[in-house]
Structure 1
Amino acid sequence: MKLASLKNKSDFDFIFEKNNLKISSGEFAVLLVFKNKKEINYGFIFPKKNIHLAVNRNFAKRSAKEMLKTLSPKKGFDIVFLVRKKIVNFDKDKVKKNFAELKRKIEFCF
Protein backbone atom coordinates (compact mmCIF):
# COMPACT_ATOMS: atom_id res chain seq x y z
CA MET A 1 0.00 0.00 0.00
CA LYS A 2 1.40 3.38 -1.01
CA LEU A 3 1.90 6.12 1.62
CA ALA A 4 1.51 9.80 0.72
CA SER A 5 1.28 12.87 2.91
CA LEU A 6 -1.59 15.34 2.90
CA LYS A 7 -0.43 18.64 1.43
CA ASN A 8 -3.25 21.17 1.25
CA LYS A 9 -5.53 22.78 3.78
CA SER A 10 -8.43 21.51 1.68
CA ASP A 11 -7.27 17.90 2.22
CA PHE A 12 -7.28 18.39 6.00
CA ASP A 13 -10.64 20.21 5.87
CA PHE A 14 -12.15 17.32 3.89
CA ILE A 15 -11.11 14.84 6.59
CA PHE A 16 -12.47 17.02 9.40
CA GLU A 17 -15.82 17.40 7.61
CA LYS A 18 -16.29 13.89 6.21
CA ASN A 19 -14.54 11.64 8.75
CA ASN A 20 -15.96 8.12 8.97
CA LEU A 21 -14.24 7.22 12.19
CA LYS A 22 -12.71 8.87 15.25
CA ILE A 23 -10.37 6.81 17.42
CA SER A 24 -8.41 7.92 20.46
CA SER A 25 -5.80 6.45 22.75
CA GLY A 26 -4.25 8.44 25.56
CA GLU A 27 -3.31 11.91 24.38
CA PHE A 28 -3.56 11.01 20.69
CA ALA A 29 -6.57 10.83 18.39
CA VAL A 30 -7.09 9.78 14.78
CA LEU A 31 -9.62 10.85 12.16
CA LEU A 32 -10.21 8.43 9.26
CA VAL A 33 -11.92 8.71 5.89
CA PHE A 34 -12.15 5.45 3.94
CA LYS A 35 -11.40 5.55 0.20
CA ASN A 36 -11.63 3.08 -2.67
CA LYS A 37 -8.08 3.85 -3.81
CA LYS A 38 -5.12 1.66 -2.84
CA GLU A 39 -3.38 4.57 -1.14
CA ILE A 40 -2.96 5.83 2.41
CA ASN A 41 -2.79 9.61 2.78
CA TYR A 42 -1.64 10.82 6.19
CA GLY A 43 -1.21 14.09 8.04
CA PHE A 44 -0.10 15.23 11.48
CA ILE A 45 -1.36 17.99 13.72
CA PHE A 46 1.11 18.04 16.60
CA PRO A 47 1.24 21.68 17.77
CA LYS A 48 4.20 23.09 19.65
CA LYS A 49 1.96 24.11 22.55
CA ASN A 50 0.98 20.44 23.12
CA ILE A 51 4.39 18.81 22.55
CA HIS A 52 7.04 21.40 23.40
CA LEU A 53 10.28 19.86 22.16
CA ALA A 54 10.82 19.30 18.43
CA VAL A 55 12.63 16.05 19.23
CA ASN A 56 9.48 14.69 20.87
CA ARG A 57 7.19 15.93 18.07
CA ASN A 58 9.44 14.23 15.51
CA PHE A 59 9.49 11.02 17.56
CA ALA A 60 5.68 11.00 17.64
CA LYS A 61 5.53 11.56 13.87
CA ARG A 62 8.04 8.78 13.19
CA SER A 63 6.12 6.41 15.48
CA ALA A 64 2.84 7.20 13.73
CA LYS A 65 4.37 6.74 10.29
CA GLU A 66 5.92 3.42 11.33
CA MET A 67 2.53 2.29 12.60
CA LEU A 68 1.00 3.11 9.20
CA LYS A 69 3.68 1.08 7.39
CA THR A 70 2.82 -2.02 9.42
CA LEU A 71 -0.93 -1.81 8.72
CA SER A 72 -2.37 -4.15 6.11
CA PRO A 73 -5.74 -2.66 5.13
CA LYS A 74 -7.87 -3.99 2.29
CA LYS A 75 -8.69 -0.50 1.01
CA GLY A 76 -7.09 2.90 1.21
CA PHE A 77 -7.93 5.74 3.54
CA ASP A 78 -7.01 9.25 4.60
CA ILE A 79 -5.85 9.68 8.18
CA VAL A 80 -5.00 12.64 10.41
CA PHE A 81 -3.17 12.22 13.72
CA LEU A 82 -3.98 14.74 16.45
CA VAL A 83 -2.75 15.54 19.94
CA ARG A 84 -5.83 16.04 22.10
CA LYS A 85 -4.20 17.69 25.10
CA LYS A 86 -0.89 19.01 26.37
CA ILE A 87 1.73 16.35 27.10
CA VAL A 88 3.71 17.55 30.13
CA ASN A 89 5.98 14.55 30.74
CA PHE A 90 6.71 13.04 27.33
CA ASP A 91 7.38 9.32 27.75
CA LYS A 92 8.48 7.47 24.60
CA ASP A 93 7.29 4.10 25.87
CA LYS A 94 3.85 5.52 26.60
CA VAL A 95 3.69 7.06 23.12
CA LYS A 96 4.61 3.70 21.55
CA LYS A 97 1.87 1.99 23.59
CA ASN A 98 -0.68 4.61 22.51
CA PHE A 99 0.18 4.09 18.83
CA ALA A 100 0.09 0.30 19.25
CA GLU A 101 -3.41 0.61 20.69
CA LEU A 102 -4.45 2.95 17.86
CA LYS A 103 -3.15 0.39 15.36
CA ARG A 104 -5.15 -2.38 17.04
CA LYS A 105 -8.32 -0.25 16.95
CA ILE A 106 -7.79 0.73 13.30
CA GLU A 107 -7.22 -2.89 12.24
CA PHE A 108 -10.39 -3.88 14.10
CA CYS A 109 -12.35 -1.48 11.87
CA PHE A 110 -11.14 -3.19 8.68
Structure 2
Amino acid sequence: MQTGKNAAASVKESAANMAASAKAGMEKTKATMQEKGEKMTAHDPMQKEMAREKKDERKHEAEYEKQAAREQNAAQRQAAGTTGTHTYSTTGDYTGTGGTYR
Protein backbone atom coordinates (compact mmCIF):
# COMPACT_ATOMS: atom_id res chain seq x y z
CA MET A 1 0.00 0.00 0.00
CA GLN A 2 2.83 2.38 0.82
CA THR A 3 4.31 1.83 -2.65
CA GLY A 4 1.00 2.89 -4.20
CA LYS A 5 0.96 6.06 -2.11
CA ASN A 6 4.53 6.84 -3.16
CA ALA A 7 3.67 6.27 -6.81
CA ALA A 8 0.61 8.49 -6.57
CA ALA A 9 2.61 11.21 -4.84
CA SER A 10 5.28 10.95 -7.52
CA VAL A 11 2.69 11.28 -10.28
CA LYS A 12 1.17 14.32 -8.57
CA GLU A 13 4.60 15.87 -8.19
CA SER A 14 5.40 15.27 -11.87
CA ALA A 15 2.11 16.82 -12.95
CA ALA A 16 2.67 19.85 -10.72
CA ASN A 17 6.20 20.23 -12.09
CA MET A 18 4.93 20.09 -15.67
CA ALA A 19 2.35 22.76 -14.85
CA ALA A 20 5.05 24.94 -13.27
CA SER A 21 7.22 24.53 -16.38
CA ALA A 22 4.33 25.41 -18.67
CA LYS A 23 3.49 28.48 -16.60
CA ALA A 24 7.12 29.62 -16.65
CA GLY A 25 7.24 29.11 -20.41
CA MET A 26 4.15 31.26 -20.89
CA GLU A 27 5.59 34.00 -18.67
CA LYS A 28 8.83 33.96 -20.66
CA THR A 29 6.91 34.17 -23.94
CA LYS A 30 4.85 37.09 -22.62
CA ALA A 31 8.04 38.87 -21.57
CA THR A 32 9.57 38.38 -25.02
CA MET A 33 6.46 39.62 -26.82
CA GLN A 34 6.19 42.65 -24.55
CA GLU A 35 9.85 43.45 -25.22
CA LYS A 36 9.28 43.27 -28.98
CA GLY A 37 6.33 45.63 -28.71
CA GLU A 38 8.25 48.10 -26.56
CA LYS A 39 11.23 48.01 -28.94
CA MET A 40 8.98 48.70 -31.91
CA THR A 41 7.54 51.81 -30.27
CA ALA A 42 10.80 53.02 -28.72
CA HIS A 43 12.76 55.68 -30.54
CA ASP A 44 15.66 55.97 -28.14
CA PRO A 45 18.32 53.22 -27.89
CA MET A 46 18.16 53.60 -24.11
CA GLN A 47 14.44 52.72 -24.14
CA LYS A 48 15.22 49.63 -26.21
CA GLU A 49 17.89 48.59 -23.74
CA MET A 50 15.48 49.11 -20.84
CA ALA A 51 12.92 46.89 -22.63
CA ARG A 52 15.54 44.14 -22.98
CA GLU A 53 16.53 44.41 -19.31
CA LYS A 54 12.88 44.26 -18.26
CA LYS A 55 12.41 41.12 -20.38
CA ASP A 56 15.48 39.49 -18.87
CA GLU A 57 14.26 40.31 -15.36
CA ARG A 58 10.83 38.78 -16.04
CA LYS A 59 12.41 35.65 -17.54
CA HIS A 60 14.69 35.19 -14.53
CA GLU A 61 11.74 35.68 -12.18
CA ALA A 62 9.69 33.06 -14.06
CA GLU A 63 12.57 30.58 -13.87
CA TYR A 64 13.03 31.27 -10.16
CA GLU A 65 9.33 30.69 -9.48
CA LYS A 66 9.45 27.44 -11.45
CA GLN A 67 12.41 26.17 -9.44
CA ALA A 68 10.77 27.20 -6.16
CA ALA A 69 7.59 25.32 -7.13
CA ARG A 70 9.64 22.23 -8.01
CA GLU A 71 11.39 22.31 -4.64
CA GLN A 72 8.11 22.78 -2.82
CA ASN A 73 6.49 19.94 -4.77
CA ALA A 74 9.37 17.61 -3.87
CA ALA A 75 9.10 18.56 -0.20
CA GLN A 76 5.34 18.00 -0.24
CA ARG A 77 5.78 14.58 -1.85
CA GLN A 78 8.18 13.57 0.88
CA ALA A 79 5.86 14.93 3.56
CA ALA A 80 2.86 13.13 2.03
CA GLY A 81 4.51 9.81 2.78
CA THR A 82 4.59 10.57 6.51
CA THR A 83 1.68 12.88 7.34
CA GLY A 84 -1.23 12.31 4.97
CA THR A 85 -2.49 13.99 1.83
CA HIS A 86 -1.38 17.29 0.34
CA THR A 87 -2.06 19.24 -2.80
CA TYR A 88 0.62 20.38 -5.19
CA SER A 89 0.99 23.88 -6.49
CA THR A 90 2.60 25.80 -9.31
CA THR A 91 2.24 29.10 -7.46
CA GLY A 92 3.82 28.37 -4.10
CA ASP A 93 0.50 28.03 -2.30
CA TYR A 94 0.21 25.05 0.03
CA THR A 95 -2.76 23.15 1.29
CA GLY A 96 -2.32 20.04 3.35
CA THR A 97 -3.68 18.01 6.21
CA GLY A 98 -3.54 20.07 9.36
CA GLY A 99 -3.91 23.53 7.89
CA THR A 100 -3.43 25.92 5.04
CA TYR A 101 -1.01 28.74 4.39
CA ARG A 102 -0.50 31.00 1.43
The normalised TM-score by structure 1 is 0.31
Q: Which has the higher strand share?
A: 1
Q: Which entry has the higher C-alpha Rg, 1 or 2?
A: 2
The normalised TM-score by structure 2 is 0.32
